[in-house]
Chains A and B, each alone.
Chain A
């Protein structure tokens, strides 16, 4: 069945270092969305990518959608303590959404 996997599961970085999480789907996706969940909070929508090879930026965050529309990445430049949380990707296909397993980011001040 459809699976969306994320790596790494956990990541600890020093404040100021970069961070990347990768999302891989077993099948081609029609779109991919990224969500952030702060500790004790609920997932909040960050961005959606639809086109093959699409790249979008939000300040220090860069999102990419692979050419084959089966993988995506989120890169944070110069992490800050406010970046702490779990980042989920969610792949859309047909009438389904499949959330990734999430990457928990810890930023050490």
Chain B
């Protein structure tokens, strides 16, 4: 069974540009979570989607947005990129929307903003 996949692996952008990151959950999983992990820091919760709807978002500005498609894959968009947006962006999926569900992480997308 394939795990969570993310694309691209690396992304280099300049300040002010927009970045789009993609995530495909494990087959059968309906929940997708997005996290930002800046160098040397912990996981900062960004967004949670389940069944196509945004269930919760972390303490990030509105220029961080996303969506979940009918096939449960998800997209994270970051507008008006700033230097401090440089980080590893991790996507995780879980079977459902319960807090007891294990999250399975993808390999991440390394975003560098120059």
Contacts and interface: CB of A to CB of B under 8 A. Distances in A.
- A is bound by B: yes
Nearest to A92: B99
Given A33-B102, A42-B108, A100-B42, A95 B90 contact: no
Contacts of B107: 41-42
A92 B100 contact: yes
Q: How large is the interface on B (under 10, 10 to 19, 20 to 34, 35 or more residues)?
A: 20 to 34
Given A42-B90, A99-B45, A101-B42, A93 B104 contact: no
Interface string A30-60: 1101010000011111001010000000000
A97 interface: yes
A107 to B, nearest CB: 19
A42 B43 contact: no
B43 A45 contact: no
Nearest to A1: B59
B97 A97 contact: no
Interface residues of A, number: 24
A44 B42 CA distance: 14
B104 A99 contact: no
A88 B55 contact: no
B103 interface: yes
Contacts of A33: 102-103
Interface string A80-92: 0000000010101
Contact of B43 (A30, A50, A94, A99): A99
B102 to A, nearest CB: 5
A19 interface: no
A58 B99 CA distance: 23
Given A88-B42, A95-B97, A45 B103 contact: yes
Interface of B: 33, 35, 42-43, 45, 55-56, 90, 92, 97-100, 102-108
Interface of A: 30-31, 33, 35, 41-45, 48, 50, 88, 90, 92-102
